[in-house]
Structure 1
């Protein structure tokens, strides 16, 4: 459906300056053309009031390589910076031009060191010289994540004594290691750890709710008192010291990847940012024994109903952000400095991917004020403090910054709400660029469901883009604008059938890059500025209606980020091409330099690597495949790019340095046996190939495309086959499987369809069968052959009750869903006759007791109305244990609770310290997120029939 704000808008596509694959189009550039000044720009300021704060760089010239943590050395005031590679450097902030000194190199002194994550100093550091570091070993090992104590030497230039290492505590390494270290006001060391696995499947080792595992927790230990053969003591008041099978070190649990925590010295509150999964970024005010939900919940969103809950009730975040505005939260500090009086007492935190900052004021668990205070281009990796409590912000690109009041006032010129008001086009209707707006083209572009694009660069007046050959980086003048108009064609390859969908604008205001989208009207006369949050809509093209997303401005900047160079696609390897017709063609890089778009001619030695058109069969297979991966994947999958998989796919990267070849996937295998990211010679064992072949969960590219690039998929299949002998990677079946019971079988059958090995009747039967399989990892492979309106559409997080109630349900099918379907969890808590478990209400006669509307409400919003008989209670014992469940029996001497698992726990009255009714139902919200609306209608029909 179209949103009211977009009533007359024809939709979609996303991003700027050549990010998505659009077939290069546009007028030729000729050698005789001259560039006129661009004087008509009205792209000034922003459509919204400016944020109250911006950032400025401090310690100019000081730059680090992938910094991950920062700490203030007690006494000296020196600042220590820890890099991912294990180097620890120190510098004095009081010096005019500080020079960092290497004080420790973990990679050089610790055998098998892989990455470092956290550091802190002992509260009595000036006396005992103790410093603590957290680092990990390669791969997945039982003791691969370590927290060690070291000692600093004395003298004017102290360094870490590598021989002094004392390993304090370890837990398994993998993904999501956490690794933040902070001493609390109680003098104990607090340590954060993540769930240790990749994002899919979520919490695959089920550590989140397991207090018998150190992963997914915040630990608390006394490093000054060794005991029982360990170099530390567990404080006696830790919450789970008396709980059988629990790790007593655990202070709180249920975290996914707690990235940076800190204490408020004024009141001892422990703050933590937790990187979410698919929907939310989370901020927690951490309590003793607190359960923060992962992986039963992702903040407010249910994830896994099958996981046994931990021993304490799940607590909500104090703040959360949807993935439309944040993608990887970085915890910060409660501000106590004197530079920014308006922020005193606020918890300041940010987001690694979007560069946004927020300030949060609280009164205990209640938020009294919460606002976005800055929107920057930084990859916010960590924060630091000086001696006075003023904040430093560390950019993963290597610089140190601080927040400053935003000096910019709102522009006197209103930001253009229509493309015709922007000054970019002399004739918007004819799509004729204004004088000084220069068209350009690229060698390769990201796949965007077959769309084409026209690209332009606009520089104020006659200013130029500067080129730094030492850094191989562009310098853009203030007011630079990149423009890309995206179109779809009724007849592929026929420009006369082209419909303009949107014009995307990337604007550099001198400090930050900002992205905007103008959506064309149906008359193709003008385009209107899309709302900041974006919207979903539809496109009618060639007789088919397809859903599209106008991406939010934040979503745009998740790819247009620092490590990708912001103007993604506008780089030497993609611009190094001939642009123009026969007799007028000239090298584009030279042409742009001659026009003054560049301030100099790019030397030949910097033109060695050139992307090719992935669909040009005359180029080499390797160059085509690497070009496809570069433009589709490398903006995120590069060092510091924000991609969660540890792979690096820039075209210039040697293949062996990509971390993809014959490497085990850390982000889920999707059920592929013996999976690799890229299995040389065997595409069907390659997760990369699977992601490109599915339209279901796991589909890549992550943003922009909804459909599979069939030609690109064939290209990557051939490329992976060329990397090795298939027989060396496993047996390749000579006959097609008869069933579709595994992802491996599905991939073989889908490949047979792609290769045209099946007659039409058999092909159609196979697609219909595969697209009806309940397992989404299989279904998504076959649904790509179907029009979008024939694909399974699950409810996700936004079920429409009215639409479900309008459907006619099939009670027989609903009965099968209740009893057998893997995605339906009703039977785990409810009984019908003799089937199911008796935790929640007996449903044997529920149809006679509740209306269809009431039944649906209880499924979608179970906490809205809770029958008093089924109120959940949290019971805390005097031993510190907490149980949660339904009260099924009470006597003068005992209380019996039935937990979500169905297990009954009998508690003696004299051991119960507190018993509190919970406002949340034991049944999680949106248990039906992976069901279709028809599935729920069928389930309702079955429940209605129970009379």
Structure 2
């Protein structure tokens, strides 16, 4: 009897557990799908060696990226999505016939799918937007669609949103600007909070050949600066020669103001300013211009590499430069186009956080020994990209640095750094990555003439400026990608 009672209790417990698990056993959980299916993905239409990331997603949170023809095994049965993006190589965009494909994969079987690419050639052209006598730079302030164009003689003009140059200059300081040699009003930098504080900074040379950076404010009339608001931030003596003034003031992503100064002039840097860390010439400087007062025109960021070191100027961020006429910031790094002496032009690329780099001048000219008697390359950072002048400067004579394209009008160009050459008069680009550059492209645009600078608006679109004062916008001339 005790055995029967025990058996009844166990039976009652078993029935109770079954009921608790869903209706007395009327519902059972589905077994997992067998992982014995396969998907063969074929990529076609791409040149050898070109990487084309394709993303496959499917059941059980499956996700994998492939870059070549592949068969994926041990898959659960179900529907998989194969997603492909455009692939850019130089001036050619490879477009998939279908951006997304849904593929049913049956248990125990192999499904196949082909991602077919076709080539579309991207061509670029120029559209003239302004002629401004002696134009050397162009930039839009934060929050504005208008383009401000810098004239070397000492004026800044405004190209309005209708494409018209305003007749009255935004700023005219021609009475204090010297255009001797390579001097003049060379650039403008708008404070990141320009929309609220109205501050902007100009980089020019005065009649004593000093490099001057001065802060101004906009007036209540947004078309005019307050010419009486000038506050000199820094004056760097440059007494010996009338060339190699550098020329750019620009705010970095960190909010500090960077200045690219030339080595003081003279062939071969006779004063050795490039390697002298107690001189502000031949350098990239970084200063803090926030909360500026008459008593303190700027502060030195504590993270600058030579702060507090005897015999070294705390303003220096990088050194060993010859004439960094133009440089540019991007999420991919800091690009410095440094003009060479007789043979090589270079572009130096560094991470935004890399401080204290020595780019080698005048020990090196690019990767060539310039000073053969002391060509010790220890501790030097050699260029990421360089090119030779060639016979009679057929390859160029002075690099003109531009910007990394981040606009929306030509998305295929994203991440490509544009540059030119004063003598070459071309438009070229490359993409940085992996410690070097790739996809060097010559966009085949003729008749630019002598190029002096680039410009950029708030949409990230780029402009190229000729010595003749013509300002051109870089545009697409081929059909846009689908």
Q: Is the 8 A contact 2:399 2:421 kept in 1?
A: yes
The structure 1 residue matched to 2:419, chosen from 349, 359, 363, is 349
The structure 2 residue matched to 1:382, chosen from 449, 453, 462, is 453
Counterpart position of 2:98: none
The change in CA–CA distance for 1:340 and 1:162 in structure 2 (over 3 A counts) is same
Q: Does 1:293 align with 2:360?
A: yes
TM-score under structure 1 length normalisation: 0.35
The structure 1 residue matched to 2:133, chosen from 65, 71, 74, is 65
The structure 1 residue matched to 2:205, chosen from 125, 129, 136, is 136
Counterpart position of 2:433: 363
The change in CA–CA distance for 1:224 and 1:353 in structure 2 (over 3 A counts) is same
Offset at residue 138 of structure 1 (A):
3.3
The change in CA–CA distance for 1:102 and 1:361 in structure 2 (over 3 A counts) is same
- Secondary structure at the aligned position of 2:170 is classed as strand
Offset at residue 320 of structure 1 (A):
0.5
Offset at residue 326 of structure 1 (A):
1.9
Q: Is the 8 A contact 2:153 2:178 kept in 1?
A: no
Q: Does 1:247 align with 2:313?
A: yes
* Higher Rg of the two aligned structures: 2
Q: Does 1:125 align with 2:194?
A: yes
Distance 2:294 2:212 in 1: 19
Distance 1:193 1:149 in 2: 18
Q: Is the 8 A contact 1:225 1:233 kept in 2?
A: no
Distance 2:300 2:374 in 1: 28
The change in CA–CA distance for 1:164 and 1:370 in structure 2 (over 3 A counts) is same
Q: Is the 8 A contact 2:177 2:205 kept in 1?
A: no
Q: Is the 8 A contact 2:402 2:419 kept in 1?
A: yes
The change in CA–CA distance for 1:63 and 1:299 in structure 2 (over 3 A counts) is same
Counterpart position of 1:434: none
- Secondary structure at the aligned position of 1:342 is classed as helix
Correspondences of 1:754-903 after superposition (within 5 Å):
none
Offset at residue 105 of structure 1 (A):
1.4
Q: Is the 8 A contact 2:369 2:375 kept in 1?
A: no
Counterpart position of 2:150: 82
Q: Does 1:106 align with 2:170?
A: no
Distance 1:72 1:406 in 2: 24
Q: Is the 8 A contact 2:145 2:458 kept in 1?
A: yes
Distance 1:228 1:86 in 2: 24
Q: Is the 8 A contact 2:177 2:185 kept in 1?
A: no
Counterpart position of 1:271: 335
Offset at residue 139 of structure 1 (A):
5.5
- Secondary structure at the aligned position of 2:444 is classed as strand
TM-score under structure 2 length normalisation: 0.67
Q: Is the 8 A contact 1:343 1:359 kept in 2?
A: no
Aligned CA RMSD, in angstroms, stands at 2.5
- Secondary structure at the aligned position of 1:131 is classed as strand
Counterpart position of 2:402: 332
Q: Is the 8 A contact 2:177 2:204 kept in 1?
A: no
Offset at residue 372 of structure 1 (A):
2.1
Q: Does 1:198 align with 2:269?
A: no
Offset at residue 228 of structure 1 (A):
11
Distance 1:228 1:79 in 2: 30
Offset at residue 215 of structure 1 (A):
0.3
Q: Is the 8 A contact 2:247 2:260 kept in 1?
A: yes
Counterpart position of 1:321: 387
- Secondary structure at the aligned position of 1:278 is classed as coil
Q: Deviations over 1:497-534 (max 9, x none)?
A: xxxxxxxxxxxxxxxxxxxxxxxxxxxxxxxxxxxxxx
Distance 2:198 2:222 in 1: 14
Counterpart position of 1:921: none
Correspondences of 1:642-653 after superposition (within 5 Å):
none
The change in CA–CA distance for 1:347 and 1:163 in structure 2 (over 3 A counts) is same
Q: Is the 8 A contact 1:80 1:90 kept in 2?
A: yes
The change in CA–CA distance for 1:204 and 1:160 in structure 2 (over 3 A counts) is same
The change in CA–CA distance for 1:56 and 1:375 in structure 2 (over 3 A counts) is closer
Correspondences of 1:106-505 after superposition (within 5 Å):
106-108=173-175, 110=176, 115-138=184-207, 140=209, 144-157=210-223, 159-173=224-238, 174=241, 175-199=243-267, 202-226=268-292, 229-264=295-330, 266-267=331-332, 269-286=333-350, 287-306=354-373, 313-324=379-390, 325-363=395-433, 365-378=435-448, 379-405=450-476
Q: Is the 8 A contact 1:107 1:113 kept in 2?
A: no
Offset at residue 52 of structure 1 (A):
5.8
Q: Is the 8 A contact 1:106 1:113 kept in 2?
A: no
Q: Is the 8 A contact 1:67 1:81 kept in 2?
A: yes
* Alignment gaps of 5+ in structure 1: 1-50, 409-947
The change in CA–CA distance for 1:407 and 1:124 in structure 2 (over 3 A counts) is closer
The change in CA–CA distance for 1:307 and 1:85 in structure 2 (over 3 A counts) is farther
